[in-house]
Structure 1
Amino acid sequence: MSGCRGPAPVEREPSRQARQPDDLPIAVIGAGPIGLAAAAHLTERGLDFVVLEAGERAGASIAQWGHVRLFSPWTYDIDPAARRLLEADGWSAPDPDWLPTGAELIDCYLAPLAKLFGDRIRTGAKVTAISRLGYDRVRTAGREQAPFLIRLADGGELHARAVIDASGTYATPNVLGASGLPAHGEADAGDLIDHALPDVLGADRDRYEGRHVLVIGAGHSAATTLLGLAELEDTSITWAIRASSAARTYGGGEADALPARGTLGTRLHAHVDSGRIRLLTGFFTHAIEREGTRARVISRTPSGHEQSVLADRIVAATGYRPDHTIAAELRLDLDPVLGSTRALAPLIDPNQHSCGTVPPHGADELAHPEPGYYAIGVKSYGRAPTFLLATGYEQARSVVAALAGDREAARNVQLDLPETGVCSSSLAEAQEQRVSLSAGIGGTPLPLATSQGGCCG
């Protein structure tokens, strides 16, 4: 973004600024939809803030899959506070029933919103660590009065009175190994493996056309890629999942409250039934062996049964997981299974909830033992695949209210989510889906033909 400046290093000696944390800004990590929603609520509350974005533009991660459409229409994709700020600036909202592509989400919403915040958004500012100034994780006395210390990849540091971590999960994709460990040989075959949502009908077409492609994963990102590959007539497609059937991926069909999401599963099911896509169930990726320019992917079940697939390219649609290492010196209370906060875990447990049945939650459930630090958005959900954008927006509103001292508003959390038959799963199946990329932005992308006309008003 033109006109943005990099963060200036702070003084190495204690300063007046450091001794008065209430005078410091709130740091928001990530300029994606949830981070910018937090910025919008901070603006309405009159709280000073800075947004630290690792990429070179707002929505940098989304730009990498800008070619696909969300299954969520615009009505679910715009934060209320952001809408108010944009409309006050003369912005016209897109058609609420339109399914935006990732590129449209940026161009029609995130870029105009980011422009309102000016140089409060700092691009190219990758956060590598968060701590308390002068305090490691062990030291307690006076801890809450110390400002947060945020260190950046370029060596710069800045102080903040609070931290809202909306950095997402896109930078930490899961491995292919079925046990959560890299498959044997996975690193050596890295040049033959692509992560979720390659542009198979556009920029990446040459890598897939006329080849045998193996797609591994049972989430919506896998379904999106499979539907794109099915349009390449000379491409042979194998789809491998750990489950005994693909019923969960096919989902609710016509019963789904988001019709585009139901269509995703219906179309995929038809391709499998017709033989266009070969489905392998009970596939537990164990090893990858190179055979010239191809790779043999070997499955070994817990009982020892083996099967293998020889492919030209592999798409690892196994999703993403949160990286909490930047907060290693903060006091976090993470659920041992999901990696969310302990209070949030039972509310998003995929054994009990789908995306549309997650109960309202906010600052209280997102709080850690480290006062002033909150992870929001898909990162807050850990490995639970039950996140939607609307959920993240309400998280942002509640957390900002708490930081503003408005406890009543922080606790008055409300969610109006579309019921869905496709994102419920058992915990074991959730590990298979591994929090697909789509969950990170609140609606699974799927390749639908572009409608006539634009999305921006």
Structure 2
Amino acid sequence: MNPYPVIVVGAGPVGLAAAAHLAERELSFLVLEAGDRPAAAVAEWGHVRLFSPWRYNTDSAAARLLAATAWTAPDPERLPTGDELITGYLRPLAGLPAIAPHIRYGARVAAVTRQGFDRVRTAGRDEAPFLVRLTSGEELLARAVVDASGTWTAPNHLGASGIPAIGEAATDRIAHALPDVLGADRDRHAGRHTLVVGSGHSAATTLLALAELAEQAPATTITWAIRAGGAARTYGGGDADALPARGKIGSRLRDHVDTGRVRLVTGFFTHRVTTTGDGVAVVSRDPYGTEQTLTADIVVNATGFRPDHSITTELRLDLDPTMGATRALAPLIDPNRHSCGTVPPHGVDELAHPEPGYFAIGVKSYGRAPTFLLATGYEQARSVVAALAGDWAAARDVRLELPATGVCSTSEPSTPGAVGRGLATGVSGGLLTLPLAGGDCCASRS
């Protein structure tokens, strides 16, 4: 029997779900978390309320382990905030006797490879343990690696061409997605002009918060810039959305645009950023070379996130060249083809790489696709752990029921004269929602 543990990278919702399944199956495991507490990334958007209710946000194995304690399950129809997700679920889960001794905090992974093998060498490779090196220099051996490290620390560039906009790195007037507009970051936005770039749920969430702030501080102005020719994709399915809170996000945002509270600028392709005396100028250059300029006090980069595969460059990964997901999973989640919120059930087979024993799960598994939901990650964790336990029947019995968005396609051109779907540039992640003070609710991500 292999003497090494399964190493799970990340103690967020999906990493802890993997730990729960490993614990249930009595497999040796170790969770490596870069932060100083469970779900450290979630804590950074703790002010945001999820648009998916509790019933979509708890893992089955985790719930079973917690049910054996004094834990009280949340109301399955209630919409938690990020902070509530931590306090009501993730922190108690991480503190269970079956899991807590197997988590190491402050353990940031620098590289994952095979002991004694670079990417080229083949003979005997599959029998060699994985070598996981931490930034501290410590090295650990593993029988398998489940990477649930997420994408929060790897936001997309503001530049529309996938690379940083000229001058992007030189200004301090660009904020990360999901600033706490109504709380800790209020003074940075109240009475000022904020430009939000991006068309996903993170952008919508920030725009709704800014609109509420503008009611309290009337001098607050808001501009929303997207590459698409229209915002129908962001507005979503409204009443047709199976998650009412998600439908309300788009409906409320459309109302703010229609009334002029939020100024919408379409066909905007960020190319250059220049700090001015009292703000920042953002220049768009579309595919035909036409330029336009927007000025603001601060820019919120809500253009989404991307997976960082730099720690696994010596592993044999088969990544789709477009999505950055596995080649088998990519066509199932490609937003160029799918926009209904329906993702076919998938598990260990679709997540497998030519490197046996390595799996990326959770939002990282989706590459650049912006449609991940926590329920998807939980089923991924269950399937992968079943396979690691040798229970292939359970591993391949994959079941996934996701709430439809009510939007199956749009016909908005993303460039002048073009025909396309006006793809979202932000990340929904299954968590983001409306701002807390907004009364009824919200977004979704991991």
Pairwise same-fold verdict (TM > 0.5): yes
Q: State the Cα deviation string for residues 50-97 of structure 1 (Å, max 9, x = none).
A: 000011111100100100100000010000110000001121110111
1:389 aligned onto 2:374:
yes
Alignment of 1:257-336 (within 5 A): 257-336=242-321
Tell me the equivalent position of 1:433.
Answer: 424
- Give, as a single letter, the amino acid of the residue that structure 2 aligns with 1:136: D
The answer as to whether partners of 2:199 and 2:426 remain within 8 angstroms in 1 is no
1:228 aligned onto 2:209:
yes
Tell me the equivalent position of 2:192.
Answer: 211
Tell me the equivalent position of 2:355.
Answer: 370
- Choose which of 114, 120, 129 in structure 1 pairs with 2:94: 114
Q: State the Cα deviation string for residues 408-449 of structure 1 (Å, max 9, x = none).
A: 11111001111113596799789963451x41xx22222144
In structure 2, the CA distance between the partners of 1:334 and 1:287, relative to structure 1 (3 Å rule), is same
Structure 1 CA distance for aligned equivalents of residues 258 and 266 of structure 2: 14
Unaligned runs of at least 5 residues, structure 2: 415-419, 441-446
Alignment of 1:95-244 (within 5 A): 95-116=75-96, 117-189=99-171, 191-232=172-213, 233-244=218-229
1:348 CA drift (Å): 1.2
Structure 2 CA distance for aligned equivalents of residues 422 and 169 of structure 1: 25
Tell me the equivalent position of 1:361.
Answer: 346
Q: State the Cα deviation string for residues 205-235 of structure 1 (Å, max 9, x = none).
A: 0100111110000001000000111122321
The answer as to whether partners of 1:386 and 1:423 remain within 8 angstroms in 2 is no
Secondary structure of the residue aligned to 2:379 is: helix
Normalised by the length of structure 1, the TM-score is 0.91
- Give, as a single letter, the amino acid of the residue that structure 2 aligns with 1:445: T
Tell me the equivalent position of 1:444.
Answer: 432
Tell me the equivalent position of 1:3.
Answer: none
Q: What is the number of residues matched between the two proteins?
A: 428
Tell me the equivalent position of 2:444.
Answer: none
Structure 2 CA distance for aligned equivalents of residues 425 and 443 of structure 1: 23
The answer as to whether partners of 1:130 and 1:150 remain within 8 angstroms in 2 is yes
Q: State the Cα deviation string for residues 118-168 of structure 1 (Å, max 9, x = none).
A: 221111101110001111111111111111000111111111100000001
Structure 2 CA distance for aligned equivalents of residues 319 and 431 of structure 1: 15
1:81 aligned onto 2:61:
yes
The answer as to whether partners of 1:383 and 1:430 remain within 8 angstroms in 2 is no
Structure 1 CA distance for aligned equivalents of residues 75 and 12 of structure 2: 21
Unaligned runs of at least 5 residues, structure 1: 1-19, 453-457
- Choose which of 27, 31, 36 in structure 1 pairs with 2:11: 31
In structure 2, the CA distance between the partners of 1:244 and 1:435, relative to structure 1 (3 Å rule), is closer
Structure 1 CA distance for aligned equivalents of residues 234 and 438 of structure 2: 24
The answer as to whether partners of 1:366 and 1:376 remain within 8 angstroms in 2 is yes
Secondary structure of the residue aligned to 1:230 is: helix
In structure 2, the CA distance between the partners of 1:103 and 1:404, relative to structure 1 (3 Å rule), is same
The answer as to whether partners of 2:304 and 2:370 remain within 8 angstroms in 1 is no
- Give, as a single letter, the amino acid of the residue that structure 2 aligns with 1:31: A
In structure 2, the CA distance between the partners of 1:318 and 1:251, relative to structure 1 (3 Å rule), is same
- Give, as a single letter, the amino acid of the residue that structure 1 aligns with 2:151: T
- Give, as a single letter, the amino acid of the residue that structure 1 aligns with 2:357: G
Normalised by the length of structure 2, the TM-score is 0.93
Secondary structure of the residue aligned to 2:78 is: coil
Structure 1 residue runs of 4 or more that deviate by more than 3 Å after TM superposition: 422-435, 448-452
Secondary structure of the residue aligned to 1:151 is: strand
1:353 CA drift (Å): 2.5
- Give, as a single letter, the amino acid of the residue that structure 2 aligns with 1:219: G
- Choose which of 413, 418, 426 in structure 1 pairs with 2:403: 418
The answer as to whether partners of 1:37 and 1:79 remain within 8 angstroms in 2 is yes
Structure 2 CA distance for aligned equivalents of residues 48 and 446 of structure 1: 40
In structure 2, the CA distance between the partners of 1:119 and 1:353, relative to structure 1 (3 Å rule), is same
Structure 2 CA distance for aligned equivalents of residues 320 and 221 of structure 1: 11
1:300 CA drift (Å): 1.1
Q: State the Cα deviation string for residues 242-269 of structure 1 (Å, max 9, x = none).
A: 0010111011011110000000001100
In structure 2, the CA distance between the partners of 1:431 and 1:149, relative to structure 1 (3 Å rule), is farther
Secondary structure of the residue aligned to 2:178 is: coil
Tell me the equivalent position of 2:443.
Answer: none
In structure 2, the CA distance between the partners of 1:93 and 1:425, relative to structure 1 (3 Å rule), is farther
The answer as to whether partners of 1:238 and 1:280 remain within 8 angstroms in 2 is yes
Which moves more between the two structures, 375-384 or 299-308?
299-308
Structure 1 CA distance for aligned equivalents of residues 337 and 28 of structure 2: 39
- Give, as a single letter, the amino acid of the residue that structure 2 aligns with 1:76: Y
Structure 1 vs Structure 2 CA RMSD = 1.8
In structure 2, the CA distance between the partners of 1:430 and 1:371, relative to structure 1 (3 Å rule), is farther
In structure 2, the CA distance between the partners of 1:176 and 1:229, relative to structure 1 (3 Å rule), is same
Structure 2 CA distance for aligned equivalents of residues 78 and 220 of structure 1: 21
Tell me the equivalent position of 2:45.
Answer: 65
